Amino acid sequence: MKKTFLFKLGLGLFVLAPTFYACSGGGAEQKIVSPVIAEPTKEEVIKQGEHLVTIMGCNDCHSPKQMGAKGPEIIADLMLSGYPSDRPVIKFDSPLLKEGFSMFYPDLSAAAGPWGVSFAGNLTSDESGIGNWTEEQFKKALTEGKLKGLDTGRTLLPPMPWENYKSLKSDDVHAIYTYLKSIKPVKNIVPNPITPDKM
């Protein structure tokens, strides 16, 4: 038993000896190797963008829906294309709006409130959506609330929660933009907002 223990101890020291020797400065010069972090592939960036679009609730307003067995369901062919331009614009005349209340279309793609009526924008890669936008424009729209990402653009209207996205990291914005550019383009020119006096 004692011999077996001593043998194992001796074997362990023999195996570890080169490590002790190298750490003590003996032998060849030591090189510190930093781990290499691989750049994500385009597919990984798109997947991350899809994840962010999902958890940030972009489909809630920007995707037209139809009523299904379990409630509203995204119309796959129109995903993220905004308020459908062929849908009639209803007249909002509730006295509650004048008291600060808000009202939504059943699929949440348009909303009315003290600001007037706003329509969810087309986020697909079609020219009627963000097809011609640069990534910088997209970032300015998403994190600074500027219409079409232009410095001269008006502030995005409620219920767009752009103020919640002010601190998004550039990598996150890039992932969202890359994902949106990868989805099916849908031609859909969203109506201009309606001012309170025209409601």
- State pLDDT tens for residues 71-81: 889 999 999 99
Q: 196 or 134: which carries more pLDDT confidence?
A: 134
C-alpha 139/C-alpha 79 separation (Å) is 21
**Least trusted range by pLDDT, from 25-29, 38-42, 72-76, 85-89:** 25-29
- State pLDDT tens for residues 149-168: 999 999 999 999 999 999 99
Quick one: pLDDT at residue 9? 45
C-alpha 143/C-alpha 165 separation (Å) is 5
Smallest CA-to-CA distance from 183 within 63, 67, 87 is with 63
Asked whether the predicted pLDDT for residue 84 surpasses 90, the reply is yes
Query: Cβ distance 179 to 123 under 8 Å?
Result: no
Give the orientation angle of helix 42-55 with respect to helix 170-182, to 10 degrees: 100
**Residue ranges per structural domain of the chain:** 42-198
pTM of structure: 0.79
C-alpha 178/C-alpha 115 separation (Å) is 31
